[in-house]
Chain A
């Protein structure tokens, strides 16, 4: 499915617009990644909080509008609760919170989700539980050294039930990731740390889904490098870092709504 998922994007646009929240570009870049992951897991096990559930950790917690929108479309979050996103007295903060049912781990400070995901993966393996741990990190986030501590150990211990998705939209808050502190050659770097690494079109949900199925059979941890576009799906937001923080209002909102019509 190479057409961008407009359903989830409409939900993201709406909850961000309604609450005056930020980080829309970061959420739009990972819609297909999240949707492919949620399609790959047993949602009922998550709903029932079974210990043998697959676990999904959004390490780039600032893009949580994307997580909540995707959870809503998979029946893990109600419409009423979703409508409170980023509003006073809501549990749905501007960063992922585990106080929201079925959110696995609270994130926001970058470089936290991956070590935690590694702990979950080691724990599942120790308990001989057949579940996979999916963690989504930003490419800019990979500049945090804590990630590389976890990547080194995951490779050493051959933690095969850990799957890392790198949302490679190539833009961090201020500018281009490559211009501040280069990650390249990222695929080689992951491989040299004992990972299987795959490049995928981060907006091709089918390709990501297939990569997940392939990753599940790997004895090594896997990094799926998802090449994405920040702000994907709304033309004037694409590759434009203005939309890291700006909230679509007025004419901008109207134009975005038009672009996301079926």
Chain B
């Protein structure tokens, strides 16, 4: 905000003990609109019309689902350069239950033309993505997990290999917090490579083509229903007749569970813990016939 006077920070009364410095330093370009997400997005659209680049901060559920029509009509139809920063993704808020955890945001938003979707898996990825969206002429959604993985070096692209195992024909494609879970699974069963696809939309078709040529088994691991990245990659695979690659999904079962739990508990329940991931891949590498997903 210091370097770019176009940035205008908006939030809907979330971010206690986090956002205060922004208001202190940039009182003219920061507004808490109150608990009013529809208004939040509308105001962002109006500020864009005036030449600002608004950043809307909120808990992902409220930022995506409460004001979906505002995102569609006021941002995407106009292709306004508004950045939606959603926190508490996946099962981060699992104990607060289904109104507050979010595993259906990617699928909900990706149907909208013009919007870009990101799910950073590390601090460095967040930095890289922010540089990218600040140059973007249209709207973006960045879902940021509470997990704070650090890679220790800057990265060139949100889409990159995290780990390569040249002896294996199995590849995990993941994003957001699930990259970390996949890395931990790799320590248990070092039989696969990991590719972080933190830019979910637009999809990187060239890179996917390369990956489908190189690997025989691809597992998409995400803390979003199958309507997320898996669905996009499955479509890519079908449209390009890439049937020689077996494609799998490890993702939450498409339902609103009745039992709560913290993220560790719910990720394990939905097959997303490092133990469950490693077990799945271990069976896969042993040529056991597998189907996607995990029954709970």
Contacts and interface: CB of A to CB of B under 8 A. Distances in A.
| Chain A residues touching B, majority SS | helix
Interface residues of B, number: 28
B36 interface: yes
A212 B38 CA distance: 28
A118 interface: yes
Contact of B46 (A121, A145, A149, A152): A121
Nearest to B38: A146
Interface in A160-202: none
Q: How large is the interface on A (under 10, 10 to 19, 20 to 34, 35 or more residues)?
A: 20 to 34
A51 B50 CA distance: 7
Contacts of B74: 105, 112, 115-116
Contacts of A115: 38-39, 41-43, 45-46, 70, 74
| Chain B residues touching A, majority SS | helix
B31 interface: yes
A149 to B, nearest CB: 4
Interface in B19-51: 28-29, 31, 33-34, 36, 38-39, 41-51
Contacts of A156: 34
A69 B77 CA distance: 23
B42 A127 contact: no
- The residue among A116, A117, A127 with the most chain B CB atoms within 10 A of its own CB is A116
A124 interface: yes
Given A121-B46, A149-B36, 9 more contacts: A106-B78, A112-B73, A115-B45, A118-B42, A119-B47, A122-B46, A126-B28, A127-B51, A150-B42
Interface of B: 8, 28-29, 31, 33-34, 36, 38-39, 41-52, 54, 69-70, 73-74, 77-78
Interface of A: 51, 55, 98, 104-109, 111-112, 114-124, 126-127, 129, 133, 145-146, 149-150, 152-153, 156-157
